[in-house]
Amino acid sequence: MLPNQRRDKILELLKEDGSAKVADLARLFKVTEVTIRQDLEKLEAEDLIIKQHGGATLKNVEDQVKSFSLVHQENLDKKEIIAQKCLEFIEMGDTIILDSGSTTTEIAKKIKASGIKNLTVITNALNIALMLGTGLDIEVIMTGGEFKPPTLSLTGQKAADFFKGLNVQKLFLATAGISLKSGLTYPSISDLVVKKAMIDAAEVTYLVADSTKIGKSALASLGALSLIDYIITDSDIQEKHKEVFRENEIEVIIA
């Protein structure tokens, strides 16, 4: 991995987790701690992070948490359209899992506006829980786990353990990148056990991802595309990408 590619991955990780230690990054990227410190100095010089003793934090992460805003806000127009389409697959009486993320946050907004009743929502996202938990018609259940400030979410093994023994109808799963080689990918390794536990607990998995994520790859791979049943995406998806999903027996739903 080239130095600029490694720095991009470090920044992606910090945008997901909020902070990281030099020793952990060195182990993850299989380079020396000196190299990681140089990477962090470069990112700090670009005003993207704040170096601290033994590690670094994402710049302005405290302000983002206080305002309850997510870091990843790109392509919101596409995400809103995808979220609206998701409502067609949510019925009164359902128990669903809403993963954390900007697209699933848009789904939560649409659910709240739709007036769907008698719905149970299980989520690891604090912002989604607060958004949907104020009404009488939706029961909200939260996982435990370690708090990730930039994504306002809970992660790690404790979050994953929550899903053991559960059986829910539908999962709306987020992803950072859909690699046609590596499958579903995420910036944070701690998320992998949570995503897998969600998939195992759900009868049907809908991957919700705008078309810009298809063909991109984040740091850590969850596994093959065959883990999902459907992908709900926007109309800008390329025909060759549709064919890959069909080859993996995944139905493509266009919003």
> Would 66 be classed as within a structural domain?
no
Look at residue 218 and tell me if it is in a domain.
yes
149 and 91 in a common domain: yes
Is the CB of residue 29 less than 8 Å from the CB of residue 36?
A: yes
The pLDDT of residue 71 is 62
Residues 193 and 247 in one domain: yes
- End residue of a domain, out of 16, 32, 59: 59
* The token pair that represents 231 in the structure block: 């992908």
Mean pLDDT for each 10-residue chunk of the chain (255 residues)? 89 84 89 93 91 87 72 82 97 96 95 91 96 89 93 94 96 93 89 96 97 90 93 96 93 96
The model's pTM is 0.86
CATH code assigned at 30: 1.10.10.10
Residue with tokens 């700090």: 44
Q: Are residues 116 and 40 in the same domain?
A: no
pLDDT score recorded for residue 211: 95
Residues 111 and 233 reside in one and the same domain? yes
Q: Is residue 241 part of a domain?
A: yes
3-state SS class at 168: strand
- The verdict on 41 and 115 lying in the same domain is no
Kindly state whether residues 49 and 95 are assigned to the same domain. Answer: no
116 plus 230 within the same structural domain: yes
Same domain? 97 vs 154:
yes
The count of domains in the chain is: 2
Alpha helices in 68-184 (DSSP H): 76-86, 102-114, 126-132, 157-161
Full residue range of the structural domain in which residue 21 is found: 3-59
| Statement to judge: residues 85 and 55 lie in one domain | no
Whether 91 and 197 share a structural domain? yes
Sequential DSSP letters for 51-63:
EETTEEEETTHHH
> Does 20 lie in the same domain as 91?
no
- 69 belongs to a structural domain: no
Query: What is the pLDDT, as a whole number, of residue 231?
Result: 97
How many residues are listed for the chain in this entry? Answer: 255
Residue type, 88: E
- State the pLDDT at residue 181: 83
